[in-house]
Structure 1
Amino acid sequence: MSASAGSQTPRAVVTGGASGIGEATARKFASSGWKVIIADIDADRGREIAGELSVQGFDVQSVYLDVTNEAAVQSFSEQVFSLEGGVAALINSGGILQNATRLTSMRIEDFDRILDVNLRGSVLTGKAFGKKMAESGHGAIINMCSLTTFHALPQPAYAMSKAALKTLTEVMAAELGPQGVRVNAVAPGYTLTPAMKDRIDKGERDPSKVISKSALGRFVEPSEIGEAIFFLCSPAAAAITGVTLPVDCGWLVYSVYTNAAAQPA
């Protein structure tokens, strides 16, 4: 069950755990018997989720955390590693989206904010938690990539942040592997999170285009990303590190395949 050694109940920290994929991941780990700490800037929603899961008998806490604040991230990592058993898994799910735009039209302050949260935030948490995990000799870290990690899409700041996270994952895997720490990433496809539903409702996303370009003909569910993350943190993935795993209902392969210049009769 655990990414750590021994029989002690493992603990997972989920940044961005108060909504969407992060919430689904926190629920998956909690229901699988892990202790969970939700770390999110939306402290109120985090407390709601933690309270709901605690009533069900799961060990879930919620704390406020701004992943762009280096001092806060460092202090938080020290606090959670001082707890009995430390931390077996860190899931870097904190991040923000970007609507379609051209690089030449993009506000540079939007670029700065997206890179600050999506990339720098994962660097800060990965650095702080990775060091502690290396000292303990075990652990698993999951970064959150995207379809834009692999293909250029019209979300320039978001795409650059997610492409960089693949490199970060590989660098961390190489550096921390000798100390027993595995580092992987998932690349969610179009996922029906509350944020995605809100964009669909506002006309900022066309669901028919997503479905028509997915091999499985549907959106990904947040819980399906949570399942993939849980697998990568489990002993079943003990030999896997440095990998970015797409969970996209076949969007990457189907969108390219169906746009090929030659198609079978």
Structure 2
Amino acid sequence: MGKNQEVIVVTGGASGIGEACARRFAHAGYRVVLADVNSDGGNRVASELRDAGHDAQFHHVDLASEESVARFASQVIEESGAPVGLINAGGILQNAVRVLDMDLAEFDRLFQINVRGTLIASRAFGAAMCEAGHGSVINLCSMTTFRSSAQVAYTVGKSGLKALTETMAAEWGPRGVRVNAVAPGYTLTQAMQARIDSGQRDPALVIERSALRRFVKPSEVADAVFFLCSSEAAAITGVTLPIDCGWLASTAYLAFASQPD
């Protein structure tokens, strides 16, 4: 992808990893279209980017509503044509809960937004990308994509997104569209900080179990997303890339029955 005001669409762009991605692409010269259900946050990010001289706009979009997503995609495509990139960063988190105790309404809500929302956004923009013969889609998975977690609904959804990524990559590759995913580990977003402050996450455990002994920064995930969308990654499709400060490797190493003296 070049510059020249090509369009990047970022769902979940009002905060966290989505915001970091929007800023990364805007600073590289792309026209960024943010979508989120959080109007205050989305307008703030878009306004800050415009004040810094970048081309950015915000749309209120509810990923739980197929009508809302379709209306958004139609407007963007009508105004600017097929985007060169779609970053599916929209989603919600879950706190730890036992399978037998989990409210199924919570499971349904997480699946509706995290999985179905990613699917309908990908379909809405992917059709135009396939017709144009180019484009890159990035989905947001998680380290729970690869490991079990007490975040039952979140884990099931993020595991499913890996399969969805691979399926879309296989189907859309012949049309010139690449589809990949990133799998962030514990990333110090606003949402994560709020959970730390409320006692729902223990930062000491995250740090001691990560090989690099720190949290991931949102900007580091955005850098990986930018790479996967770029021409430098032209031969890469269907992958899910962990960005976790070595948490997956370290926890497996530390759990092994034999440890060196």
TM-score, structure 1 normalization: 0.97
Is 1:199–2:199 an aligned residue pair? no
- In the other structure, the counterpart of 1:154 is 150
1:8 Cα offset (Å): 3.9
After superposition, residues 76-95 of structure 1 pair within 5 angstroms as 76-95=72-91
In the TM superposition, structure 1's runs of 4+ consecutive aligned residues that sit over 6 Å from their partners are none
Instruction: Say if 2:184 and 2:243, in contact at 8 Å, map to a contact too.
Output: yes
Task: Give the share of equivalent positions with the same residue, in percent.
Answer: 55
Distance 2:67 2:59 in 1: 15
The CA deviation string for residues 214-252 of structure 1, in whole angstroms up to 9 with x for no partner, is: 000000000000100011000010000000000000000
Instruction: Say if 1:88 and 1:138, in contact at 8 Å, map to a contact too.
Output: yes
Deviates more, 1:175-184 or 1:39-48: 39-48
Q: How many aligned residue pairs are there? A: 261
3-state DSSP of counterpart to 1:230: helix
Distance 1:174 1:86 in 2: 20
- In the other structure, the counterpart of 1:57 is 53
The CA deviation string for residues 122-175 of structure 1, in whole angstroms up to 9 with x for no partner, is: 010011111110000000000000011000011000000000000000000000
- In the other structure, the counterpart of 1:128 is 124
What residue identity is the alignment partner of 2:126?
Answer: G
The CA deviation string for residues 171-222 of structure 1, in whole angstroms up to 9 with x for no partner, is: 0000000000000000000000010000001110000110111000000000
1:85 Cα offset (Å): 4.7
Instruction: Say if 1:10 and 1:85, in contact at 8 Å, map to a contact too.
Output: no
- In the other structure, the counterpart of 1:32 is 28
Unpaired runs of at least 5, structure 2: none
Unpaired runs of at least 5, structure 1: none
- In the other structure, the counterpart of 1:137 is 133
Distance 1:262 1:45 in 2: 48
What residue identity is the alignment partner of 1:244?
Answer: T
- In the other structure, the counterpart of 1:12 is 8
TM-score, structure 2 normalization: 0.98
RMSD of equivalent CA atoms: 1.0
Distance 1:163 1:232 in 2: 20
Distance 2:4 2:20 in 1: 23
The CA deviation string for residues 6-29 of structure 1, in whole angstroms up to 9 with x for no partner, is: x74211000000000000110000
- In the other structure, the counterpart of 1:166 is 162
